[in-house]
Chain A
Amino acid sequence: HAVAPGNVILEGKIKTPDFDATWAGAHRIVTVEARSRRQNATPMEPRAAHASYDRVTGRVTLTCTTQMPHLTRTAVADILGFPESDLRVIAPDVGGGFGQKMSLAPEYVVLVWLARKLRSSVAWTEDRRENLIASFHSRDQYLTLQGAFDKDAKLIALKGDILSNVGAYSCFPTTSGVEPLMGMAELPGPYDVQHYDCRARGVITNTCTMAPYRGVSRPVITFTLERLMDRAARAFAIDTVDIRRRNLIDKFPYISAAGLKFDEATYKETLEMAVKAIDVPAFRKRQKEAHEKGRYLGIGFATFSERTGYGSPAFAARGMEITPGWETVTLTVDPSGFIEARIGSSPHGQGLRTTLAQIIADEIGVEPQMIKVVHGDTDTAPYGWGTFASRSLVISGGASLIAAQKVRAKLIKIASHMLEAAPGDIVLEQGQAKVAGTDRFVTIAKMAREAYTQTHRFKGEIEPGLTESGTYDPPGTFSNACHVAIVEVDVETGHTKVEKYLVAEDAGKIINPMIADGQVHGGIAQGIGNALLEEIIYDEQGSPLTATLADFMPPTAHEIPEIELHHIETPSTESITKAKGLGEGGLIGSPAAVVNAINDALASFGVSIDEIPATPQRVRAALREAGAKT
């Protein structure tokens, strides 16, 4: 490409002042050259869409699997050059996305164009083969990290080089540079190091476009950083837990070398919690006994930060042309007293309808069953950015709370009017407004009816209707966790079995424990897949070799062990619900924990496996290279 010498389409650099002097004064430099192979997010439902032209109104209704219906509408109308009001986008129950469905599918644009051209209906359904070959890919990169440590194994400077194969084309809205650029911004992760030098490059090739996939960049930077920490521990002959103790952030707010503000979290506390829960001494004993019988067990740790719920300033800092961030929730108590929340987020399996209903119900003093959360239709939902980047609970949750606070205030006003009591004496609970200390009350249903049909009684003091909106655009808040994997490696076949998995995590206030745990479980399963199984492979001619789920292999129930979760709840100061996001964390920590465990299992062979997926072939190749007699 003439416009991009060496096919390098983007290059980012960051270097802190005094880096060179600090680097020169290092006691020891530790290097890791890591490789993350190409992966596909693989939602169980491939992409599909239906565009229907209405000859009476001239409007098109596009029903499609997307994580961002409003931005799809904006983009399609922009590209085809017609008013947005002539397009309605509906995201019905979407069968998983994991980031793959946040990028605009070019096929959807073609479909709308065709529907208008033919004045008819057109449908397109992707099959699995097409999804694996030609939807969006992710992760494909080389990441070299060099850590400069002082004599006490404290990391004093970090040098990084991220080289990412971003595919043939860009994607909308994040661009295909999202992996390398975010990787550069999010390093050095949860570790306290103020001297940082990084270069991030994206190279265009004749492969499928790279786009966001759950965790974006952080599974790879965490994998590489955590390999670096384990290697450094080995070089200093100290314990892998000790080196983390010496380097994790513990003073807040912490400003990272790349300029990110880390709010209060529990990096060290979750590490200690996990170490205790997994019982390291007992494992080491079991490991030794197994080793004597020719069996190879290993334990791996991963500590990480997960930036969640970040609003428009964070996207603006990346210099993006489009800066998503805020969310709006419109809350209506209808004349029957039931409550409808229209949200701009677009959940597709995250349980957001349940959690938002809980937030609203708590604030208004009703049962969550009274609340219907409506999403995914640009004709009914307020403009919003959709569901991605561990943002919806924090941002849409915050907007829900603001809207609910406004509804609450108005209900108190109406109650005060109807019950002829001072607003300060009104208590909202159990679907009623009560006058404190008396038996006088009025139900929300009655107040709602009054707000629509008896407004003459308000004498102009209260506006008719019962609809309020809340918009929230927070700065972002960091969740954190420590993951531990115990694996057994069969040195003859190179096969790894994850025997046990344990997580100690902190995602702020947990609104719904069952849903939160479900998110972590799912992320870990994907991470174990990324660590051991999943790889998009092209042959030398560029033909894809992994076009079925028998070749690109997401894990089954067999590959996922029982997952033990422990929680700490540090209320977020950067989120009005005190909740932090946690949608991506499961996948951020697990490749690192699993591969560190493999390396621990194979420590006696002196091998180092720094590539994901760590397939049996790669493990065997490493063992052969090390001259292992197996």
Chain B
Amino acid sequence: MTDKIDLTLTINGRDHAIKVEPRRTLADAIREDCGQTGTHIGCEHGVCGACTVIVDGEPVRSCLMFAAQASGKNIRTVEGLAKGDALHPLQQAFMDHHGLQCGFCTPGFLMLAAGVLEREPNINDEDLLDVLSSNLCRCTGYQNIIKAVRAAAIEMRK
């Protein structure tokens, strides 16, 4: 299992040709091999969701996926959310509503919410709460994360 394999990860539209062990997780490959450190690793057990990225349109825990499984797929990370200097509506809403304190869980929440709101722009509050319960935050008590995502949902529907 220690023989390295060649694969290409397409992150935010850019190809990264890397050589990794088959057991390399997607989270580690994104951070260590592709240098995109916006994706954070909080537990490596698939519980906290800090490492959430979007793979082919679906939010996934990148610590529970092998890099090899994501080869050839379209991977989106927090680095790809803003368009130049213009923040993504979710990023702007997190700032406006104080949706982050230490910021460690934030990339995961942003990608989780982005994936879900793109799929279900009209998601109701109860289902949204269900989705946001996938990830852990230890600072905010979730109050302002929920507010921010609701505000961004309205903005994204415009």
A residues with CB within 8 A of B = 42-46, 93-96, 98, 127-128, 348-351, 514-515, 517-518, 521-526, 548-550, 554, 556-558, 560, 562-563, 586
- Nearest A residue to B146 via CB reads A557
Q: What's the tally of chain B residues with a CB closer than 8 Å to chain A?
A: 32
Taking CB atoms, residues of chain B closer than 8 Å to A525 are: 138, 140-142
CB within 8 Å of A: which of B118-158? 129-130, 132-146
Contact with A along B85-121 (1 / 0, CB 8 A): 0000000000000101111110000000000000000
Smallest CB separation, B131 vs chain A (Å) = 9
Known pairs A96-B102, A521-B140, A556-B142 / 5 extra A-B pairs, C-beta < 8 Å: A45-B42, A94-B102, A95-B40, A558-B130, A563-B143
Quick check: A562 and B143 within 8 Å, CB to CB?
yes
B residues with CB within 8 A of A = 40, 42-45, 47-48, 50, 98, 100-105, 129-130, 132-146
Quick check: A550 and B47 within 8 Å, CB to CB?
yes
Taking CB atoms, residues of chain B closer than 8 Å to A586 are: 141
Quick check: A522 and B101 within 8 Å, CB to CB?
yes
Smallest CB separation, B108 vs chain A (Å) = 9
Taking CB atoms, residues of chain B closer than 8 Å to A96 are: 101-102, 104, 138-139
Quick check: A44 and B137 within 8 Å, CB to CB?
yes
Give the distance in Å from the alpha carbon of A42 to the alpha carbon of B136 in the complex: 11
Give the distance in Å from the alpha carbon of A564 to the alpha carbon of B103 in the complex: 23
Taking CB atoms, residues of chain B closer than 8 Å to A558 are: 129-130, 133
Quick check: A518 and B144 within 8 Å, CB to CB?
yes
Chain A interface, >50% SS class: loop
Known: A349-B101, A522-B101, A557-B146. A127 touches B141 (CB 8 A): no
Taking CB atoms, residues of chain A closer than 8 Å to B50 are: 44
Smallest CB separation, B64 vs chain A (Å) = 13
Give the distance in Å from the alpha carbon of A215 to the alpha carbon of B135 in the complex: 25
Quick check: B103 and A93 within 8 Å, CB to CB?
yes
Quick check: A98 and B138 within 8 Å, CB to CB?
yes
Taking CB atoms, residues of chain A closer than 8 Å to B143 are: 517-518, 521, 560, 562-563
Known: A128-B42, A548-B43. A44 touches B136 (CB 8 A): yes
Quick check: B137 and A550 within 8 Å, CB to CB?
no
- Nearest A residue to B131 via CB reads A557
Quick check: B138 and A128 within 8 Å, CB to CB?
no
Quick check: A44 and B44 within 8 Å, CB to CB?
no
Quick check: A45 and B102 within 8 Å, CB to CB?
yes
User: Which of A517, A524, A556, A557 is most buried by chain B, counting CB atoms within 10 A of its CB?
Assistant: A557
Query: Of B44, B135, B144, which is within 8 A of A128 by CB?
Result: B44
Query: Of B48, B132, B140, which is within 8 A of A522 by CB?
Result: B140
Quick check: B40 and A522 within 8 Å, CB to CB?
no
Taking CB atoms, residues of chain B closer than 8 Å to A526 are: 138, 141
Taking CB atoms, residues of chain B closer than 8 Å to A350 are: 101
Give the distance in Å from the alpha carbon of A128 to the alpha carbon of B44 in the complex: 7
Quick check: B142 and A45 within 8 Å, CB to CB?
no
Quick check: A554 and B103 within 8 Å, CB to CB?
no
